[in-house]
Amino acid sequence: MQKFYKIITYGCQMNVHESEKLAGILTRLDYMPTEDEALADVIVFNTCCIRENAEQHALGNLGALKYLKAKKPSLIIALGGCMIQQDNVAKEVKKSYPFVDILFGTHNLEDFGVLLKKRLETGKKVVEIVGDKPKICENVVPFRTSYPNAWVNIMQGCNNFCTYCIVPYVRGREKSRSMQAIYSEVQKLVLLGYKEITLLGQNVNSYGKDLNDGTNFAKLIDFLQEVRGEFRLRFMTNHPKDLTEELVIAIANNKNCCHAIHLPVQAGSDEILKKMNRRYTSKDYLDKVAIIKKHLPDCAITTDIMVGFPGETEQDFLDTLNLVKKVGFASAFTFVYSPRKGTIAAEMPNQIDEAVKKDRIMRLVDLCNEQTRQFSATYLNKEITILCEDYDKKRDLYLGRDQYGRMGYFKSQENLIGEFVTIKVNSATGISLYGDIVEE
Ligand code: 5AD
Ligand code: SF4
């Protein structure tokens, strides 16, 4: 009888791609995907712990599965990902969610098939969460779900220990894949017809340092010029302290590289940046922006910004607003700081009041939305090339992004998913552009 699985993913692109690896493992074991929880034989939660709300969300949804398990005892519920890598959470799950069958961490994802078999054969709960040594797994074939886009992990882990961030604790130290392995994966994907490849790492700018053979991210970008075929190359995420001019030049020289850089700034106050252990000042950040603009004048710069870090004064917050004004971001992800157990910032004095955080995030979002609108407005009446990636059934519109990351919507009688399409933009609302196909 056909067996089915459902994977529920929380968090970042990295997690979405790891879920594709889990799906690859389940596919090899002859499971088929389903959206219907009642039909599923295996439900996997791939969790994220970077912010508190992602964690609460996952636990809430997990709790709701208790009744399903009671109705269908053969259902296997697995919980994995970086949330489980935290000791206190693993303990809490074991105690309060006894119906969970398999608990696994971030470092043994590729063993999921073995853990599942063990659970099925023994009928006993399987808990395998291994330390902080990321493994580079080269033998799992992901079941990709986002054609024409494909993600390629180039490294695992992070060495930075920003004081607010849980990632280095749950994902361990940086470990890079070889340039050759990355090149082969990208080339295969392009031959298979994928049109946009996004290289993934917590800090792609420090790619290769651990290989100790002179490899660096700029060299990888250069090397990937050899890949044959028509495709776009993106990468995320960058760290301002490690972004080099050599890299920006490599991006400018690579015909496939999108002129879009996600460069998280986090804060505009030097005092707060120091407390965050970001290891750059607001001037350093602006200098990096200037380097980008020098070689890539049209580059869309996007960012992550946080408000309410411990000790953040009104003046610190105004410094953040000022920096945002100076740079003019194409778009920004904005976050309210949430203390993560085990991080240095969680123990800092002067945690900020929720009402103050709320007020600041609203003011920041207003400014960022305005910048997003301004950037979109520059597109009016222009022709842009977008990679058609989806169809919005409700609106009967196809959609896709241009190289700068802006989403464009258009009408078409033909299915154009996977094609590069030129549209003329006739309206821009916030982050979305609307246009008509330009006939060649
Ligand atoms: N609280 C709020 N936001 C956080 N981020 C990371 N840790 C926290 C935290 N404890 C944000 C940062 C990062 C993005 C992925 O998530 O802005 O760049
Ligand atoms: Fe977290 Fe900083 Fe590493 Fe990014 S660079 S994952 S924010 S510790």
Cα(196) to ligand 1 centroid in Å equals 26
* pLDDT value for 268: 98
Q: What separation, in Å, do the N-terminal and C-terminal C-alpha atoms of the chain show? A: 50
Cα(310) to ligand 2 centroid in Å equals 17
415-425 per-position pLDDT tens digit: 999 999 999 99
* pLDDT value for 327: 98
Pair 256, 190: CB distance under 8 Å: no
Same domain, 239 and 324: no
- Please report, for the domain that includes residue 215, its CATH number: 3.30.750.210
Is 429 or 424 the better-scoring residue by pLDDT? Answer: 424
Same domain, 354 and 397: no
Chain-centroid distance, C-alpha 192: 23
- Alpha-carbon torsion 283, 289, 292, 296, what sign? negative
pTM: 0.95
Distances (CA, A) of 233 to 81, 201, 239, 255, 400: 27, 14, 18, 9, 15
Per-residue b/e over 241-257, b at no fewer than 16 CB within 10 Å?
A: ebbeeebbbbbbebebb
Indicate if the pLDDT at residue 351 is higher than 90: yes
Same domain, 357 and 390: no
Is 235 inside any structural domain? yes
Cα(278) to ligand 2 centroid in Å equals 9
Range of the domain at 393: 383-437
* pLDDT value for 295: 98
Domain boundary among the residues 216, 240, 258 is at 258
* pLDDT value for 3: 97
**Ligand 2 pocket: which of 50, 51, 106, 165 to mutate (most atoms within 8 A of CB):** 165
Distances (CA, A) of 84 to 23, 79, 94, 184: 19, 7, 10, 32
Same domain, 71 and 187: no
* pLDDT value for 12: 86
- Please report, for the domain that includes residue 400, its CATH number: 2.40.50.140
Same domain, 373 and 433: no
Nearest CA to ligand 2 atom 2: 162
CA distance 384 to 392: 20
Same domain, 196 and 301: no
**In the chain, pLDDT over 90 holds for what percent of residues?**
88
* pLDDT value for 301: 98
- Ligand 1 pocket, 306 CB below 6 A? yes
Is 136 inside any structural domain? no
Same domain, 369 and 274: yes
Is 368 or 56 the better-scoring residue by pLDDT? Answer: 368
Find all residues with CB under 8 Å of 341, minimum gap 6, and list them.
Answer: 86, 88
Is 36 inside any structural domain? yes
- Please report, for the domain that includes residue 348, its CATH number: 3.30.750.200
Same domain, 65 and 114: yes
**Ligand 2 pocket: which of 173, 174, 203, 343 to mutate (most atoms within 8 A of CB):** 203
Same domain, 234 and 166: yes
Domain boundary among the residues 353, 377, 401 is at 377
Task: List residues bridging with 437 in a β-sheet.
Answer: 423
Provide the number of structural domains found in the chain. 4
Which ligand has the nearest atom to the CA of 361?
1
63-76 per-position pLDDT tens digit: 989 999 999 999 99
143-193 per-position pLDDT tens digit: 999 999 999 999 999 999 999 999 999 999 999 999 999 999 999 999 999
Tell the residue number behind the tokens 């505009």, with chain if given.
Answer: 268
* pLDDT value for 196: 98
Pair 48, 10: CB distance under 8 Å: yes
CA distance 103 to 45: 10
CA distance 179 to 404: 26
Mean pLDDT value of segment 219-225: 98
Same domain, 162 and 250: yes
Same domain, 114 and 13: yes
18-66 per-position pLDDT tens digit: 999 999 999 999 999 999 999 999 999 999 888 888 888 899 999 989 9
> 9, exposed or middle or buried, with CB in 10 Å at 0-12, 13-18, 19+?
buried
Indicate if the pLDDT at residue 129 is higher than 90: no
Average pLDDT over the chain reads 95
Nearest CA to ligand 2 atom 5: 160
Is 83 inside any structural domain? yes
Cis peptide before 237 (omega within 30 of 0): yes
Alpha-carbon dihedral 61, 110, 88, 60, rounded to 10 degrees: 0
Is 140 inside any structural domain? no
Task: List residues bridging with 224 in a β-sheet.
Answer: none
Find all residues with CB under 8 Å of 255, minimum gap 6, and list them.
Answer: 225
Distances (CA, A) of 352 to 70, 306, 313: 42, 12, 9
Tell the residue number behind the tokens 């082969």, with chain if given.
Answer: 184
Domain boundary among the residues 128, 163, 179 is at 128
Is 134 inside any structural domain? no
Is 340 inside any structural domain? yes
Name the amino acid, one letter, at 233.
L
Is 138 inside any structural domain? no
Same domain, 235 and 283: no
256-268 per-position pLDDT tens digit: 999 999 999 999 9
Cα(167) to ligand 2 centroid in Å equals 6
- Ligand 2 pocket, 155 CB below 6 A? no
Is 144 or 136 the better-scoring residue by pLDDT? Answer: 144
- Ligand 2 pocket, 168 CB below 6 A? yes
Indicate if the pLDDT at residue 215 is higher than 70: yes
* pLDDT value for 132: 64
374-423 per-position pLDDT tens digit: 999 999 999 999 999 999 999 999 999 999 999 999 999 999 999 999 99
Distances (CA, A) of 144 to 147, 266, 276: 7, 31, 36
* pLDDT value for 433: 97
